[in-house]
Amino acid sequence: MHPVIPYVAAAGLFGLGCYGVLVRRNAVLLLMAVELMLNAVNLVFVTADTTVRAVLPHSGQVFALFVIVLAAAEIGVGLAIVLQLYRLRQSVAVDEVRLDSDDEDPAIGADTQVTARHAAPGSTGVTR
């Protein structure tokens, strides 16, 4: 089999993953598109390993194993972030996430303000 076929398939998978990252608004689908791109890179590593085995034995397989471990860690952290985002916003749409918001802490509440002044003994330092 010619090594061109897996390279073209990997390029197609990577392009499809890039399209998914750029177009998708759902955070879970965004993570799936990133996984598709990582799997395309794994295909390139394994194909390169089989074509140049005489120069560097099994290096592509080792790199592919590292990418698999990285993908597992990325999914664990990414899904934890998505779950927390859903708990706070009741939506996983990435367009609705404001990274520069000055929202108050929802545990404290909008009508409560924590001050950084020196509180009198016995007081909590929270004013209402």
- What SS3 class is residue 26? strand
122, part of any domain: no
Q: How confident is the model at residue 124 (pLDDT cuts 50, 70, 90)?
A: low
Taking the C-alpha atoms of residue 113 and residue 17, their distance in angstroms, rounded to an integer, is 45
Q: Give this prediction's pTM.
A: 0.69
**Residues 6 or more apart whose Cβ sits within 8 Å of residue 44:** 6, 7, 10
pLDDT digits (tens, 9 = 90+) for 65-119: 898 899 999 889 988 988 888 888 888 888 777 777 665 555 554 444 444 445 5
Write the CA distances from 111 to 88, 119, 124, 127, integer angstroms: 18, 19, 16, 9
Over 80: is that where the pLDDT of 122 sits? no
91, part of any domain: yes
124, part of any domain: no
Picking from 108, 82, 112, the residue whose alpha carbon sits closest to that of residue 96 is 82
**CATH at residue 26:** 1.10.287.3510
128, part of any domain: no
Domain of 75, in residue numbers: 4-96
58, part of any domain: yes
Query: Which pLDDT belongs to residue 96?
Result: 77
Q: Could you give the number of structural domains in the chain?
A: 1
117, part of any domain: no
pLDDT digits (tens, 9 = 90+) for 4-16: 999 999 999 999 9
88, part of any domain: yes
